[in-house]
């Protein structure tokens, strides 16, 4: 925003007059297949989020701080997938670069970066919340119950707003299929580091290493707790087996979410500072959308409660309604049959 307000600075660093961006023909810039795949992933992930968020928002769930955070992170992810899926997918199909719409591309980069930072920070807070909950429920109530949760959310929103507004934004690039700090990438190399965003680097490294650390602590605490419970009911092998299965299930969920965020954040830091082949850049784009959109897939696959809730509140009523319509259709005679019966 500072660069945008200071028009001289914007004209200096975001001016396209010193090269001809059409020197690379639009047809050569297009990535049709990659863009179509991104749009398909965007649509699938957005649809999958809806029933999960509906389950999180139910009255019996929203009372718990964990579900509030999951709902909040889900909303941020649904909005942020527009950047990683919809926008970059359309740009890849069209072959758009910064100089096609300089001001517009700069402006949309600000909320894209802010939402990304807010969503990934929420993932860290959620991991911290679950870790503390496994250790002591009283501490969770002190830190997260009631209005305190809204202070956490407000802090996340403020954090995303500051980073998205007061640092240079990433720019969507359809030719390379990604978001980059250098708006002239593929035309002009930023050898002096003018377009480096140190806040982005610090954020991603913190998330990339912080999440696995928190999840490691979470697993240690969970393992210790479950071992204590298992010792109390050692005679009941069936219950012990169920506890082990539940423990492994929860760990798989948090581990997969942590791996997705860690891989995406560290990979994007790497490609911003080191030369890489185009397939690595496209892999980073896929990693970004998957890190945000694959979370409902993890919930539905590994969380039996969410899966049962979706079946109970969405699938079963829909099937019942369709079955009722089918029965009604077969029982109601057609107009021709009515006419024939009257003759």
**What are 195-210's pLDDT values in tens digits?**
989 999 999 889 888 8
Is the residue at 331 inside a domain?
A: no
CB 288 within 8 A of CB 45: no
Is the residue at 327 inside a domain?
A: no
What end-to-end distance do the CA atoms of the chain give, in Å?
80
Determine whether 263 is exposed, middle or buried from the number of CB atoms within 10 Å of its CB (0-12, 13-18, 19+).
Answer: middle
pTM of this structure: 0.83
Length of the chain: 343
Residue linked to tokens 């998330």: 207
At 340 the pLDDT is 43
Q: Nearest 5°: phi and psi at 303?
A: -100, 105
Q: Which residues of 208-236 are buried (b: 16+ CB within 10 A; e: fewer)?
A: bebbbebbebbbebbeeebeeebeeeeee
Distances, alpha carbon 49 to alpha carbons 45, 63, 125, 155, in Å: 6, 20, 20, 24
Identify the CA nearest to 29 among candidates 98, 103, 101: 98
Q: Into how many domains does the chain fold?
A: 1
Measure the CA dihedral 35/40/45/46, to 10°.
90
Is the residue at 130 inside a domain?
A: yes
Of 4-8, 22-26, 68-72, 150-154, give the lowest mean pLDDT range: 4-8
Is the residue at 332 inside a domain?
A: no
Q: List Cβ neighbours of 295 (8 Å cut-off, separation of 6 or more).
A: 73, 74, 77, 257, 260
Helices marked H in the chain: 2-5, 7-13, 26-29, 32-56, 59-62, 65-81, 88-94, 102-135, 137-144, 148-166, 198-232, 237-273, 278-293, 295-302, 304-310, 316-331, 335-342
Q: How confident is the model at residue 243 (pLDDT cuts 50, 70, 90)?
A: low
CATH number at residue 88: 1.20.1070.10
At 27 the pLDDT is 94
Q: What is the mean pLDDT of the chain?
A: 83
Q: pLDDT tens digits, residue range 263-301?
A: 888 888 888 778 888 788 888 888 888 888 888 888 888
Rounded distance, CA 26 to CA 42, Å?
A: 24
Distances, alpha carbon 208 to alpha carbons 62, 129, 201, 327, 337, in Å: 28, 18, 10, 55, 69
Determine whether 114 is exposed, middle or buried from the number of CB atoms within 10 Å of its CB (0-12, 13-18, 19+).
Answer: buried
CA gyration radius, the chain: 25
Is the residue at 295 inside a domain?
A: yes
Residue 147's domain spans which residues?
2-6+25-322
At 240 the pLDDT is 58
At 237 the pLDDT is 57
The secondary structure of residue 189, as a DSSP letter, is -
At 253 the pLDDT is 73
Share of the chain above pLDDT 70, in %: 84
The secondary structure of residue 23, as a DSSP letter, is G
Is the residue at 343 inside a domain?
A: no
Is the residue at 62 inside a domain?
A: yes
Report the pLDDT averaged over residues 61-65: 85
Is the residue at 339 inside a domain?
A: no
Identify the CA nearest to 293 among candidates 49, 89, 70, 117: 49
């Amino acid at each position: 925003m500072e660069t945008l307000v200071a028009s001289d600075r914007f004209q200096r660093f975001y001016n396209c007059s010193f090269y001809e961006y059409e020197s690379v023909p639009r047809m050569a810039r297009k990535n049709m297949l990659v863009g179509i795949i991104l749009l398909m992933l965007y649509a699938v992930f957005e649809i999958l989020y809806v029933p999960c968020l509906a389950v999180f928002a139910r009255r019996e769930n929203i009372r718990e701080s964990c579900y509030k955070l999951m709902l909040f992170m889900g909303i941020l992810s649904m909005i942020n997938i527009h950047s990683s899926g919809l926008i970059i997918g359309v740009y890849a199909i069209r072959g758009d670069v910064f100089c096609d719409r300089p001001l517009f591309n700069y402006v949309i980069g600000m909320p894209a970066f802010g939402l990304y930072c807010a969503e990934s920070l929420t993932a860290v807070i959620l991991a911290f919340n679950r870790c503390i909950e496994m250790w002591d429920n009283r501490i969770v109530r002190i830190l997260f119950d009631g209005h305190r949760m809204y202070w956490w959310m407000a802090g996340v929103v403020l954090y995303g707003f500051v980073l998205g507004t007061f640092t240079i934004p990433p720019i969507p690039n359809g030719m390379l299929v990604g978001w980059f700090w250098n708006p002239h990438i593929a035309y002009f190399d930023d050898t002096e580091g003018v377009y480096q965003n140190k806040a982005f680097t610090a954020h991603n490294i913190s998330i990339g290493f912080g999440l696995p650390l928190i999840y490691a602590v979470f697993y240690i605490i969970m393992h210790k707790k479950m071992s204590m419970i298992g010792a109390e009911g050692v005679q009941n092998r069936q219950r012990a087996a169920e506890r082990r299965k539940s423990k492994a299930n929860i760990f798989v969920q948090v581990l997969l979410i942590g791996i997705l965020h860690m891989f995406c954040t560290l990979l994007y830091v790497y490609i911003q500072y080191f030369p890489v082949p185009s397939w690595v850049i496209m892999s980073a784009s896929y990693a970004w959308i998957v890190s945000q959109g694959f979370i409902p897939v993890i919930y539905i696959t590994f969380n039996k409660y969410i899966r049962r809730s979706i079946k109970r509140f969405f699938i079963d009523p829909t099937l019942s309604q369709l079955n009722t319509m089918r029965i009604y259709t077969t029982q109601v005679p057609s107009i021709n049959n009515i006419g024939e019966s009257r003759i």
